[in-house]
Amino acid sequence: MADLKRLGLDKHPSVKAKGGRTQPEPGKMNHLESRYAEQLEADRLSGKVAWWKFDAMRLVLADRTTLAVDFVVMLADGEIQFHDTKGMRNGKMHVEDDAAVKMKMAAKLFWPFRFFYVKLGPSGFELKEVRG
């Protein structure tokens, strides 16, 4: 966590949006995102990941429809991936319906890249690929 604080990427609280849903404050990590950022930084130091960035870009899917994925990750071989962290609810990964549709749409429109949901499982972080 000290490295993340040094980089200005330590966790910060979310804010309430209309409708009562909690929305992340732009550019600020929640607890799960902070833990995953620590993992990505360890992967970068080990050479598995060349580069990663939190809350780096918003993908335009259609007029007035965008998707902001939590992390953009470049692997050591140059492959670009988009990783979106998801919490667990009732033992299952929780993805809102609109977010699932947007992620599938992004995977289809931006086919040169790979898209993943990231969850924290019993043995560490697990990636589930999303295909368009």
C-alpha 5/C-alpha 17 separation (Å) is 26
Please tell me the number of Cα atoms within 13 Å of 44 on its side-chain side. 14
Average pLDDT for 102-108: 98
**Which pLDDT score, from 0 to 100, does residue 12 have?**
46
Please tell me the number of Cα atoms within 13 Å of 38 on its side-chain side. 14
Q: Using alpha carbons only, how large is the chain's radius of gyration in Å?
A: 15
Q: What is the pLDDT of residues 35-64, one digit of tens each?
A: 999 999 999 999 999 999 999 999 999 999
**Which pLDDT score, from 0 to 100, does residue 3 have?**
57
Residues 6+ apart with CB under 8 A from 37: 4, 9, 29, 52, 54, 71
Q: How long is the chain?
A: 132
Q: Please, are residues 84 and 69 in contact by the beta-carbon 8 Å criterion?
A: yes
Average pLDDT for 97-111: 97
41: which DSSP letter?
A: H
Average pLDDT for 114-130: 96
pTM (2 decimals)?
0.82
